[in-house]
Amino acid sequence: MTDVNLRALYGLKYNPFLPNLPADALWVLPEAERFAQRVQTLALQGGFALITGDPGQGKSKTLQWIAQHISRIPDVSVGVMERPQSKPADFYRELGELFGVSLTPLNRYGSFKALRARWKAHCQSTLLRPVLLIDEAQEVSSLCLTELRLLQSASFDSESLLFTILCGDGRLPDRFRTPELLPLGSRIRARLQLMPLTPEQLQNYLAFALEQAGYLQLMTPELIQTLAAHSLNNLRVLNHMAAEMLDAATERNLPRLDESLYFELFSPTPSKPRRNKGA
């Protein structure tokens, strides 16, 4: 299925159930608005913020939306780490690339000084802290997290040279209670814990996604209610089911998605009873 098929059949601008959505089509989770306001303040002050939640609850999309929100601040510098599982040498190398500093990873002390000098200069010239975003942060080693805490702390911990948002699953809060990472955990200034969504919230999400894509009537109201009620309160599960239904409807040139298609695709097929050989 291609975007051409979607436009021809349904007038959709894109598939609303796939991850590669336009930035303006991201649905904002109910509690994310207040967190974003707090984040905007912390861009002036520095420190750490944390987004956590179970898989499929919308953590990465929330971080993407917050990145768009932060990027509108004039003079802000935002770096997005793409390899959180790196060992310290590569961790420093990626930080250098993100913030325009030429580093020699084998010289960790020199890299430490060069990064801090760049961040200090940015703070003095813009009055803003550089921003670092780390998705899948549960994969970052304890050693790298400790390096990051020490990197951005200055003047006997009275000043922060960087604002870092860590985003990951439920393992992160548990790690921040361990002795080696408790110093970082105690410095987290804003937390957003994403909870399972209610069926009503999932219905609101579907209506928003369809409207943004250009065809609110793609699904019947009954199907929207059914999908929201049977997606385990999970955005990812909901999107997977809706995407499968859209694929099937496109192959069959169906004018609209309804409950009959849902039951055909997702209702278990009853098994035939075995015949007794002695009968």
Choose among 100, 81, 203: nearest CA to 148. Answer: 81
Query: Per-residue confidence at 269, pLDDT binned at 50, 70, 90?
Result: low
Q: Any residues with CB less than 8 A from the CB of 184 and at least 6 apart, and which?
A: 48, 145, 146, 148, 149, 176
Residue 65 has pLDDT above 60, yes or no: yes
Residue 196, beta-bridge partner list: none
| Full 3-state SS string of the chain | CCHHHHHHHHCCCCCCCCCCCCHHHCCCCCCHHHHHHHHHHHHHHCEEEEEEECCCCCHHHHHHHHHHHHHCCCCCCEEEECCCCCCHHHHHHHHHHHCCCCCCCCCHHHHHHHHHHHHHHHHHHHCCCCEEEECCHHHCCHHHHHHHHHHCEECCCCEECCEEEEEECCHHHHHCCCCCCHHHHCCEEEEEEECCCCHHHHHHHHHHHHHHHCCHHHECHHHHHHHHHCCCCCHHHHHHHHHHHHHHHHHHCCCCECHHHHHHHHCCCCCCCCCCCCC
Residue 2 has pLDDT above 50, yes or no: yes
Q: What is the pLDDT of residues 87-146, one digit of tens each?
A: 999 999 999 999 999 888 778 889 999 999 999 999 999 999 999 999 999 999 999 999
Q: What is the pLDDT of residues 205-259, one digit of tens each?
A: 999 999 999 999 999 999 999 999 999 999 999 999 999 999 999 999 999 999 9
Residue 278 has pLDDT above 80, yes or no: no
Mean pLDDT (whole number) for 63-69? 93
Residue 268 has pLDDT above 90, yes or no: no
pLDDT at residue 7, as a whole number = 77
Residue 3 has pLDDT above 90, yes or no: no
User: Do residues 161 and 167 lie in contact, with contact meaning Cβ atoms separated by under 8 Å?
Assistant: no
pTM, 2 dp: 0.90
Query: Per-residue confidence at 279, pLDDT binned at 50, 70, 90?
Result: very low
Q: What is the pLDDT of residues 4-61, one digit of tens each?
A: 777 788 889 999 999 999 888 999 987 899 999 999 899 999 999 999 999 999 999 9
Structure tokens given for 225: 């209610």
